[in-house]
Each structure stands twice: as structure tokens, then as C-alpha cells.
Amino acid sequence: MKNRFANVLKECVSVFSRNSHYREENSCPLIMQANFWDRNQLKLAPVFFLTPAMLFFAVYVLHPIFSSLLISFFEWDGVGEMIWVGIGNYVEMLDDDRVHTAIINNILWLGFFLLAPPLSLALGLFLNQNILEIKYAKSLYFFPFVVSPVVVGLIFSWFYNPKYGLLDSFLELFGLQPLALLSDENFANYGIIAAAMWPQIAYCLILYITGLAALNKEIIESAKIDGASGWGMFWNIILPQLRPATFIAVVVSVLGALRSFDLVAIMTQGGPWGSTTVLAYEMVEQAIFNYRMGYGAALATILFLILDVYIVWFLIRVWKNEKGRL
């Protein structure tokens, strides 16, 4: 009985060995294919992941940039024949008073937007306290960040309204005359900038609150033991740890000031008499409303070059920081 069982077992092992050998011989192409992927996986995987993103970048970023640059050398209404004018659109900008006003207004926006980081830092230091009421109040400061710019523009337009706006009701409490802020070319710019600063300060505040929550407590405690306090503690211990948040806050503030468009379009449409126009709004007005695609593309090119210089500086700064960490 034992010999018979042993013979059956040997026969089963022999059949299994032959079948396994057959499978190996017939699966060589699959094994070679798997080995090719294993050998080149580190090289091919990044290509497969990056190709869709690079295609989208080429179609939706690079193509519009080069198309705008090409159109800027033509006089074109968007429908008819394109007429070559060379650098005529750029020369025209030198004598265009609206473009000069737009540049001055962009500089004004930039100056006020650069106040957002220090104001947000001061507010963040005040809100970064272990007090229950302040913790509840802190959540209210996030509201402007999540509100659409369109809604912000409408809210401040109602606020500035000379008939039923809260601003004029407040002025009447002090016996002052109502002020049609958005209709006054001397004050309209400041009214729009104040509306834009509201969500901008909220965004920078989020950056600083996040940075304050990530402070190294051990360094702060060691500084206290060494006698650091007040302004010395803030300037030498806390502020250096907030450098990344400050850097990002300044970057987004500069970019936000240069690409300002939505609030101008909603609140004044560049008025009164073009006094609140900025480069981004002037670009859209010339291209869409005045049917001057070439001139609008030239304005877009100038604005892109201004932004591009700052973005390149930002990327170089980030690259140097990352290189220093390696």
C-alpha cells in the first residue's frame, strides 16, 4: 500500500514539473516584458505622469501667451482681417493717457497691498491667544477669504451707496455731508482698494496664524530663560520663524495688486472718467468693448512681462532656498 502511494506521488510530481516547464517556456515574452518595465520604471513613470500636465500647460498656458504676443503686432477687431502694424500698438501706449493712469493706479494698489502682510501679522499676534472669546472671533476673520470677489464688490458698493449705504449713515452721525465715494475721481480708487484689502488681509492672516501655530516652543522657552521678552523676543525669535509665511504673504500681495481686475469691473467699470482703471481692466476694455484685439494683446503682453519678472525672481528665490536645504 505504501509503495503504491509513493508511486502515485512520484507521478504527480513528474506531471507538475512538466507542466511548470511548459508554462515557463511559453511565458518567456511576458517575463521579458515585465523585466523591461522593471528595468525602466523609474525613467518611464515620471514621463507618464508629467505628459498630461505638460499637454494641458502647452495648450492652455503657452499657446495663449504666444498667440497674444503675435496678435499684439496686428490691428484686429477679432473678426475681420488682421493688419500688420509692427510695434505700433506699443508705441501708441506711450502717448495713451488711460494707460498712464492705469500704471499709476497699479502702483497705488501695490503700495497699499504691501501693507497687508504687516497688518495681518499684527492681527495674527493679537488673535493667537488662548482665550475662548478670541478663538470664536478668529473664525470670523476667515469669512472674507472664502467670499467671492464679486460678492465683495457688491457688498462694498452697497456700503458706499450715497442713498442707503452705511458709510453715509456713519458720516451723518458726525454731522458730515454724504459722500458719493465711487463717483468721486479723487476717492474712488481708495474705496476700491479698501474693498480689495479686506479679503487680502484675511488671506495673509491665515498664513500668519498657521505660521504662529508652528512656532518652535523649545526655542521660545530657551529665549525666555535667557531673559528675552517683548520686542527683542518678537524681532529675534518669532519673526525669523515666520519668514516663510512672510515671503508667501508678500508674493501673493504683489501678484494680487498687479492682476487687480474684478473689483474695478464690478464697482466702477474703470470710472469715473477712467480714473480707476488698471492695466488688467484696460486690457479687457480695449479688446472686448472697443474691438481692438491687437492693442489689448499688447497691454496683456506688458502686464505679463511685469508679472513674469517678479515670478522669475520668486522661483529663483525658492530654488536657492531648496538648494540650501539639500
Q: What is the pLDDT of residue 32?
A: 47
Q: What is the pLDDT of residue 78?
A: 86
Q: Determine contact, residues 289/297, Cβ cutoff 8 Å.
A: no
Q: What is the pLDDT of residue 286?
A: 93
Q: How far apart are CA 120 and CA 204, in angstroms?
A: 6
Over pLDDT 90: what percentage of the chain?
Answer: 43
Residue ranges in the chain modelled with pLDDT below 50: 2, 5, 8-9, 12-13, 15-16, 19-33
Q: What is the pLDDT of residue 34?
A: 55
Q: Which residue matches cell numbers 525666555?
A: 224
Which bin fits 83, alpha (ψ -120 to 50), beta or left (φ > 0)?
A: beta
Domain 96-325, classified CATH 3.30.1180.20, yes or no: no
Q: What is the pLDDT of residue 4?
A: 53
Q: What is the pLDDT of residue 55?
A: 94
Q: Where are the domains of the chain?
A: 2-50, 96-325
Name the residue type at position 82: M
pLDDT of 203-231, one tens digit each?
A: 999 999 989 888 888 888 888 888 877 78
Q: How far apart are CA 65 and CA 13, in angstroms?
A: 70
3-state SS string over the chain? Answer: CHHHHHHHHHHHHHHHHHHHHHHHHHCHHHHHHHHHHHHHHHHHHHHHHHHHHHHHHHHHHHHHHHHHHHHCCEECCCCCCCEECCCHHHHHHHCCHHHHHHHHHHHHHHHHHCCHHHHHHHHHHHHCCCCHHHHHHHHHCCHHHHCCHHHHHHHHHHHHCCCCCHHHHHHHHCCCCCCCHHHCCCCHHHHHHHHHHHHHHHHHHHHHHHHHHCCCHHHHHHHHHCCCCHHHHHHHHHHHHCHHHHHHHHHHHHHHHHCCCHHHHHHCCCCCCCCCCCHHHHHHHHHHHCCCHHHHHHHHHHHHHHHHHHHHHHHHHHHHHHHHHC
Q: What is the pLDDT of residue 16?
A: 44
> pTM, whole model, 2 decimals?
0.80
